């Protein structure tokens, strides 16, 4: 009887085949699980608010000939012009009424001035300061009222105070008898001296020159107040020798 010893080489080979088969099974299971758990599309990561935009094709575009849009446009075009014309007409009527009212007021003022001039033939206004050397005349337009006359006299007194402050004459050149000279001036609205001349001479050259220099040194005069109308004002300034004694 012959005994057979087991072959160790064939046993090791079988074990190796079993390990390879087991490894393939494990890899197959792992790959299957990965394919099942992983989503088919990548995850989209967004930041901030999400906006939805809808694209409109040419088949849904409204034209001006469409019934709804054309009616809307016609309604707007027919409504606005009438409102604008109405507002313009109202504004024109208001302006016309105001111009008529102003014209009536101006005509009344002119008639009132003419009545005053007819009642008082002498021209000009006399200053409240009835000094021997004073502003004697006023030629221009103004409101014929006591308040307006008082306002004008206040301005004339201011002019005379300035002129008198610049009026000087050495005692050696003073005339022995009382003399008088009147200088006519025209003042612009800004107070500038537009014209100056002698309306009356005293006969004493030094006295007349002193009066003329006093007026020139006082210019420019204060601007004409708002209550004095016209582009300029003409006044006569009377100088009397008694004012220098």
48-53 average pLDDT score: 48
In a domain, 115, yes or no: yes
In a domain, 129, yes or no: no
Flag whether pLDDT at 114 surpasses 90.
no
Q: Judge if 170 and 209 occupy the same domain.
A: yes
Domain that holds residue 159: 146-244
Q: Judge if 150 and 195 occupy the same domain.
A: yes
Q: What is the DSSP letter of 145?
A: S
Q: Judge if 151 and 211 occupy the same domain.
A: yes
Maximum pairwise Cα distance, the chain: 195
85-114 average pLDDT score: 56
In a domain, 8, yes or no: no
Cis status, amide bond into 220, omega within 30 of 0: yes
In a domain, 91, yes or no: yes
In a domain, 190, yes or no: yes
Tens-place pLDDT, residues 177-194: 999 999 999 999 999 999
Q: What is the pLDDT of residue 132?
A: 36
Measured CA to CA, the distance from residue 40 to residue 33 in angstroms comes to 14
Report in angstroms the alpha-carbon separations of 167 from 34, 87, 138, 218, 220.
Answer: 121, 63, 21, 9, 16
Helix (H) or strand (E) holding 185: strand 180-188
In a domain, 95, yes or no: yes
Counted domains in the chain:
2
Nearest to 168 by CA among 222, 212, 230, 115: 212
pTM (2 d.p.): 0.44
CATH number of the domain bearing residue 224: 3.30.1150.10
In a domain, 207, yes or no: yes
Tens-place pLDDT, residues 117-176: 444 333 333 333 333 344 544 444 444 568 888 889 999 999 999 999 999 999 999 999
């Amino acid at each position: 009887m012959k005994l057979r010893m087991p072959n160790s080489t064939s046993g090791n080979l079988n074990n190796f085949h079993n390990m390879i088969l087991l490894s393939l099974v494990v890899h197959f299971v792992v790959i299957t699980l990965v394919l099942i758990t992983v989503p088919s599309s990548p995850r989209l990561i967004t930041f901030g608010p999400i906006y939805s935009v809808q694209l409109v094709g040419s088949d849904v575009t409204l034209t001006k000939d469409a019934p709804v849009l054309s009616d809307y446009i016609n309604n707007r075009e027919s409504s606005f012009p009438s409102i604008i014309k109405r507002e313009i007409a109202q504004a024109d009527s208001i302006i016309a009424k105001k111009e008529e009212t102003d014209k009536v007021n101006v005509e009344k003022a002119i008639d009132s001035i003419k009545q005053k001039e007819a009642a008082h033939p002498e021209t000009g206004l006399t200053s409240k300061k009835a000094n021997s050397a004073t502003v004697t005349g006023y030629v221009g337009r103004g409101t014929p009222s006591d308040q307006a006359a008082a306002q004008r006299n206040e301005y004339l007194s201011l002019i005379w105070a300035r002129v008198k402050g610049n009026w000087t004459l050495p005692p050696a050149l003073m005339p022995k008898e009382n003399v008088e000279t009147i200088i006519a001036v025209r003042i612009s609205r800004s107070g500038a001296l537009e014209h100056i001349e002698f309306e009356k001479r005293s006969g004493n050259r030094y006295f007349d020159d002193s009066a003329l220099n006093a007026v020139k040194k006082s210019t420019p005069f204060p601007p004409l107040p708002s209550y004095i109308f016209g582009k300029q004002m003409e006044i006569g300034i009377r100088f009397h020798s008694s004012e220098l004694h």
